[in-house]
Structure 1
Amino acid sequence: MHQTVLAQFDITYAPLSPIHFAGVISLGNKVHGDNYLTNDLLADYYAKSFVGDINASWVALNQNNVVGFRLTFAHNQWQSDEWCTPSLWPATAENVCYFKCNTVDPDMQGKGIGSELLHKSIECAKAQGADAGLAHIWLASPGNSAFKYFTKNGGQLIKKHPNKWRYASIHEGYDCPVCTEYCECEGAEMLLEF
Structure 2
Amino acid sequence: MEITYKELTAADHAAVIELGNRVHGDNYLTEANLQDYAARGLYKGVNLSWLAFVDGKLAGIRLTFAPSQWDTETDTTPSAWRVPAEQMVYFKCSAVDSSIRGAGLGRGLLKQSIAAAKSVGCKAGLAHIWLNSPNNSAYGYFSKCGGELVAEHANRWHYISVHEGYHCPVCDGICHCSAAEMILYFDQD
Does the residue aligned with 2:62 lie in a helix, a strand or coil? strand
The 5-angstrom pairing of residues 113-128 of structure 1 reads 113-128=105-120
> Which of 57, 61, 65 is the equivalent residue of 1:69?
61
- For 1:160, the aligned partner's letter is E
- For 1:186, the aligned partner's letter is S
- Establish whether residue 50 from structure 1 lines up as the match of residue 42 from structure 2: yes
Give the TM-score of the pair, scaled to structure 2. 0.95
Q: Superposition RMSD on alpha carbons, in Å?
A: 1.0
Runs of 4+ residues deviating >3 angstroms: none
Q: Pick closer, same or farther for the CA change 1:23–1:110 going to 2, 3 Å.
A: same
CA distance in 2, matches of 1:180, 1:78: 28
Larger Rg: 1 or 2? 1
Match of 2:182 in 1: 190
- For 1:45, the aligned partner's letter is Y
CA distance in 2, matches of 1:187, 1:88: 16
- For 1:74, the aligned partner's letter is A
- For 2:63, the aligned partner's letter is L
Unaligned runs of 5+ in 1: 1-8
Does the residue aligned with 2:107 lie in a helix, a strand or coil? helix
Q: Pick closer, same or farther for the CA change 1:181–1:175 going to 2, 3 Å.
A: closer
> Which of 88, 99, 108 is the equivalent residue of 1:96?
88
CA distance in 2, matches of 1:54, 1:94: 16
Whether the 8 Å CA contact 2:148–2:184 is kept in 1: the answer is yes
Does the residue aligned with 1:43 lie in a helix, a strand or coil? helix
Counting aligned pairs with the same residue, the percent is 51
**Shift, 1:180, TM fit:** 2.9
CA distance in 2, matches of 1:148, 1:159: 16
Whether the 8 Å CA contact 1:157–1:189 is kept in 2: the answer is yes
Does the residue aligned with 1:45 lie in a helix, a strand or coil? helix
Q: How many residues align?
A: 186
